[in-house]
């Protein structure tokens, strides 16, 4: 098969993103949801849709056994190097707060790298996906730490598992006032919980660490909180940045 350059793959908790590296940037991004699917089938599907790249850079937050299963399936289909990118304590101008680099998810590390490379000044990075992660990065590349909380879907699943609420599916978390029925109450609660976590991290960055951060929103649920956060964080510059993890992977793969 002919080669098309380097393929970047971001293997998340419930979806995959893939893009070719083109002149230091990203080509068109392919998204594939796979929650509950067999990762061998996912890898086979991805390989069937593309010609073999010259190389693959893979970032995965999945357990090692699942990541290895995915990688080996691609390797059987494509005769090319497949590099698994791992978190490093210090690289690309970023120094992480964790004493053990293996304890910081590679998705958070890649987001830090992209934020440091592409944005000047202090930043707070809120990644709203299967989990909500919020990290603080000083302008000089020093990662001060962060928080992890359930994302919208995980929060609703936990609520549903421990209560008898009648709603059979997650409500859209776009109700931003007091609820007048159960669905509105759950929607508002999910939204306010996410906003509250992000707002508290911004407060800590400002008051305890003396930063003047810009807030970067990324992840599949970023749009759901953007407007309400702008009201809750008056005076803080907020920017949505799509595919921050994949952008960081492009930096790590070429640096």
Rounded Cα distance, 193 and 115, in Å: 24
Among residues 190, 239, 188, which one has the least CA distance to residue 213? Answer: 239
Catalytic residue annotation: 107
Whether the Cβ atoms of residue 244 and residue 216 lie closer than 8 Å to each other = yes
Q: Give every CB contact of residue 225 below 8 A, 6+ residues apart in sequence.
A: 126, 128, 191, 194, 195, 198, 217
Chain-centroid distance, C-alpha 36? 19
Residue identified by tokens 């509105």 is 184
């Amino acid at each position: 098969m002919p080669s098309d350059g380097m393929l970047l793959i971001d293997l998340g908790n419930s979806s995959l993103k893939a893009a070719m590296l083109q002149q230091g940037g990203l080509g068109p991004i392919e998204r594939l949801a796979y929650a509950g699917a067999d990762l061998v089938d996912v890898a086979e599907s991805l390989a069937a849709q593309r010609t073999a790249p010259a190389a693959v850079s893979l970032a995965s937050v999945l357990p090692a056994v699942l990541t290895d299963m995915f990688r080996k399936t691609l390797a059987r289909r494509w005769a090319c190097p497949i590099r698994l990118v791992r978190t490093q304590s210090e690289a690309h101008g970023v120094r992480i707060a964790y004493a053990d680099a293996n304890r910081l998810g590679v998705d958070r590390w890649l987001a830090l790298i992209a934020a440091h490379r592409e944005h000047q000044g202090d930043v707070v990075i809120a990644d709203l996906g299967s989990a909500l992660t919020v990290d603080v990065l000083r302008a000089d590349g020093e990662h001060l730490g962060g928080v992890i909380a359930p994302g919208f879907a995980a929060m609703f699943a936990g609520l549903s598992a421990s209560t008898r609420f009648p709603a059979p599916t997650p409500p859209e978390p776009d109700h931003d006032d007091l609820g007048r029925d159960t669905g509105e109450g759950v929607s508002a609660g999910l939204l306010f919980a996410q906003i509250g976590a992000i707002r508290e991290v911004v407060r800590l960055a400002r008051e305890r660490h003396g930063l003047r951060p810009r807030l970067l929103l990324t992840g599949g649920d970023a749009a759901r909180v953007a407007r309400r956060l702008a009201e809750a964080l008056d005076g803080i510059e907020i920017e949505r940045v799509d595919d921050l993890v994949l952008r960081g992977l492009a930096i790590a793969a070429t640096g």
